[in-house]
Structure 1
Amino acid sequence: YDLIVYGTVQSSLMREWGLNSAQLGTIGSMAFIGMMLGAVLIGRLSDRVGRKTAVIGSVIMLSVFTLLCGMATNPILFGLFRLLAGLGLGGLVPAVNAMTADLVPTRKMAAWSTVMMSGVPLGGSLAAVLAQFIVPSHEVYGWRIMFLIALIPIVIGLPIAIKVIPSDKEIVHDLEARGIVTPGAGDKTKAPGFGALFAPEYRTATIWFAIATFVTLLAWYGLGTWLPRLMEEQGYNLGAALNFTLALNIGAVIGSIVTAWAGDRFGPLISGSVAAGIAGIALLVLLVGPPVSAIYAILVLAGVGTHGTQILIIAAVAQFYPQRLRGTGLGWALGVGRLGAVIAPQMAGLLLSWGLGPESSYLMFGGAALLSAISMFFLYLLAKKDRK
């Protein structure tokens, strides 16, 4: 919800603060810079101080600063709040995925990652639906209300999370009982640092996981942030543009289901490679100016391939590293990969400001998805070689 809602309010920000496309891209990138830093730092902390502490802290930071975005009085404050909200969101993803990997059987990791990460497109779909009614409702306050909805996770979701999420001692005790870790292995003071990711047995995969995440997040978050604005540039009104965003997120929900099955059946790496390839080809078809009905189908496929691929990358990373290094490994892959999410809004804004049109962004996002497919296939071959 937090990320998609920015794409739904860009026109309002342009009118209220006189921003141009390049400036909108810079502000859009602030959240992703925060996500990059949050993934690395809080992913590491989840190995050191525990999963529950990292998850709850990330939720509080994300919700509070998203709420403050709706109260910003100028673009500088707005950008600062986006940065700080991004820290929370960036930390939440590796922490909660590491916790999920601790709690579920390895063979079911793709399915459970999908169940958990399906909240991302569901929140995006909610943002696209609500924005059609809320943003036009008031010239000044319509877009602000979209951010004030972040109060709901604090009031309702946080108490539930505190009660339901198991304590770190309970997680470690369960891992020991299942024979996954030996007694004492869950000692956070003994958790290895980032240097362990580049030990000979992990080095190549560590680098390629970061590359795969970089290009996948460039495509997914670039579309999520800029799709409404790109469609408006092509002459569609706000309602139609938001419906296209809804199609993208519906595709991501469908993709969550399809990739969960495929990830468990064929493995996350080869499944992700196929999904990303489909998304890349679909996005490149936008360059030929297809009819509206085809655009909806293309965006559904793009949602399936980009978001679904990212879930499968997360599942593959969680399976690859040992338990004591899992949060650090996820934080590294997602943190470095967030550079793609940082670059995407900035580049899309610059491409528009240079007069290159929405097609240049579709080319960038489609190319990134195809590079994701290649990266995932390389990791699949690497894993296959290691098994031999």
Structure 2
Amino acid sequence: MTKSPALNPRAHYAGWVAPLCWLAVALEGFDLVVLGVVLPALLKEPGWNLTPNSASVISVVGLVGVMIGAMATGTVCDLIGRRKAIIFTVVSFSVFTLLCAFAPNPLVFAVLRFLAGLGLGGVLPTALALVNEYARRGRGGKATTTLMTGYHVGAVTTALLGILIIERFGWHWMFIIGALPALILVPLILKYLPESTAFLEARAAGPATPGTASKTTPKTSKNPIGMLFHHGLARSTIAFWVTSFMGLLLVYGLNTWLPQIMREAGYELGAALALLLVLNVGAIAGLLVAGAVADRIGNRRSTVAWFSAAALFLALLSVKLPGIGVYISVLLAGMFVFSAQVLVFAYVAHVYPAAARGTALGATSGIGRLGAITGPLITGVLLTAGLAYPWGFYLFAVVAAIGAVSISLVNRNPAPDEALPVTEEEADEIARHAH
């Protein structure tokens, strides 16, 4: 990457990119999980008259906001820059999260969750684009999976704080605490977070002159959305969207209903809840391994392998294993299911040029949120019909298999990134793989 002080005066702060983006994603993890933590208290809130069904509507409204935010902010960060976009999203979701603490009724609360979701949805694609553009060449997979550990740390922190805070001080304080870190994070971002040099170079280059585009450099478009469907990327874009839908369907379907499915399988409540914990421990372990594997064998092969392994171990969960066997199966399922989706983001960041990378990540994340909504709904229907065990796991296995097939359809020879120049040796390597 070209490091021109004139082009990017904050380039010497490159070491701040990963930790600041990690903290932003951790706050996102906190805010996206906090609703589930406070729901039992909200159902008892005097005068609100919430039922499980109306509470589910609030949850869906928030996820719709996240979906819209992801799709819109991805394009915005390709137009105004990653730095401005991440400042806006962190400030936005923190303000509306704080206001949730003072909502007088469920309607206002739902509107505020939707508005907070708009900012929350934009954090991940923006942070992913920035981290990948500052990652060392060939280390994008590890940079992506390391960033996503922030989400799980934020989620675990939310659960622990809920145990300590809600009964003593009330649910309102969870939203206040969730907003306060922005008072420290935003000033740090303003001072230390640099803009992406790749973005600045792409913007400085402007649209290519007609007739001057080479075989290795696609013509730059001012419309990042249009770029998703040009330069041989249309098939890849659709494939990524389908895979992300399947990946987040698995993540949210399992995290929402796994304990209840295992209860139907005959496991005691304590064991069923322990299996949910094991699932998420597997997720963290998978993230630590998946990035290194992707950097070693490539994004394509690792993502296909991860979805295929997820299908295998999800199908295995349909068999009631004795003793520690079920815990091992759930651990392995968690290792592959959660990190498979993260590998999709790493692959997206590798395929698209800098001028459209944020848009590509935002669209992939946004379409995936439809899966996040669909997963719990479909599993809930199976539970109501008494079919969740074992058919729920068969369904999850098929979904993972579809993810493996769809990611394999990504174009093997995408348009290279004109904003990240390659050496002659790297160009030779690209050519060998292309043929």
Query: Which of 31, 34, 42 pairs up with 1:5?
Result: 34
The one-letter code of the counterpart of 1:5 is: V
Give the TM-score normalised by structure 2: 0.75
1:185-200 → structure 2 map (5 Å cutoff): 185=206, 191-199=222-230
Aligned-pair CA distance for 1:312: 1.2
Q: Confirm whether residue 346 of structure 1 aligns to residue 383 of structure 2.
A: no
Contact 1:21–1:350 (8 Å) recurs in 2: no
RMSD across aligned positions (CA):
3.4
Task: Encode CA deviations 1:332-354: one digit per residue, 9 max, x unaligned.
Answer: 22222221112223334444455
Q: Confirm whether residue 261 of structure 1 aligns to residue 295 of structure 2.
A: no
CA distance in 2, matches of 1:230, 1:151: 34
CA distance in 2, matches of 1:266, 1:329: 23
Q: Confirm whether residue 184 of structure 1 aligns to residue 205 of structure 2.
A: yes
Contact 2:318–2:389 (8 Å) recurs in 1: no
CA distance in 2, matches of 1:38, 1:172: 21
> 92-101 or 7-16: which moved more?
7-16
CA distance in 2, matches of 1:296, 1:72: 41
Q: Confirm whether residue 246 of structure 1 aligns to residue 277 of structure 2.
A: yes
Query: Which of 367, 382, 406 pairs up with 1:375?
Result: 406
Q: Aligned residue for 2:190?
A: 162
CA distance in 2, matches of 1:3, 1:298: 27
Q: Aligned residue for 1:111?
A: 142
Task: Encode CA deviations 1:153-194: one digit per residue, 9 max, x unaligned.
Answer: 3123222222221036x6656xx5xxxx5953499x963231
Aligned-pair CA distance for 1:206: 0.7
Q: Aligned residue for 1:312?
A: 343
Contact 1:66–1:85 (8 Å) recurs in 2: yes
CA distance in 2, matches of 1:63, 1:358: 40
The one-letter code of the counterpart of 1:297 is: I
Q: Aligned residue for 1:387?
A: 434
Greater helix proportion: 1
Contact 2:66–2:369 (8 Å) recurs in 1: yes
Q: Aligned residue for 1:147?
A: 175
Aligned-pair CA distance for 1:242: 5.5
CA distance in 2, matches of 1:289, 1:18: 40
Distance 1:89 1:296, change over 3 A: farther
1:62-101 → structure 2 map (5 Å cutoff): 62-101=93-132
Give the TM-score normalised by structure 1: 0.83
CA distance in 2, matches of 1:205, 1:68: 40
Query: Which of 36, 40, 44 pairs up with 2:71?
Result: 40
Distance 1:321 1:163, change over 3 A: same
1:17-32 → structure 2 map (5 Å cutoff): 21-32=52-63
Aligned-pair CA distance for 1:92: 1.0
> 346-355 or 193-202: which moved more?
346-355
Aligned-pair CA distance for 1:78: 3.2
The one-letter code of the counterpart of 1:387 is: A
SS at structure 1 position matched to 2:376: helix
Contact 2:236–2:411 (8 Å) recurs in 1: no
Contact 1:253–1:304 (8 Å) recurs in 2: yes
Q: Confirm whether residue 297 of structure 1 aligns to residue 328 of structure 2.
A: yes
Name structure 2 gaps, 5 residues minimum.
1-29, 209-219, 415-429
SS at structure 1 position matched to 2:205: coil
> Number of residue pairs matched?
376
CA distance in 2, matches of 1:364, 1:302: 14
Contact 1:110–1:268 (8 Å) recurs in 2: yes
Aligned-pair CA distance for 1:201: 0.8
Bigger RCO (CA 8 Å, 6+ sep): 1
Distance 1:345 1:183, change over 3 A: same
Aligned-pair CA distance for 1:25: 3.7
CA distance in 1, matches of 2:292, 2:366: 27
CA distance in 1, matches of 2:92, 2:182: 10
> 346-355 or 211-220: which moved more?
346-355
CA distance in 2, matches of 1:98, 1:127: 26
Q: Confirm whether residue 208 of structure 1 aligns to residue 239 of structure 2.
A: yes
Distance 1:46 1:261, change over 3 A: same
Distance 1:236 1:142, change over 3 A: farther
CA distance in 2, matches of 1:41, 1:98: 14
CA distance in 2, matches of 1:150, 1:284: 38
Q: Aligned residue for 1:127?
A: 158
The one-letter code of the counterpart of 2:315 is: L
Q: Aligned residue for 2:27?
A: none
CA distance in 1, matches of 2:333, 2:95: 31
Aligned-pair CA distance for 1:221: 2.5
Query: Which of 243, 248, 255 pairs up with 1:217?
Result: 248
Name structure 1 gaps, 5 residues minimum.
none
SS at structure 1 position matched to 2:318: helix
Aligned-pair CA distance for 1:37: 0.7
Aligned-pair CA distance for 1:291: 5.3
CA distance in 2, matches of 1:206, 1:122: 30
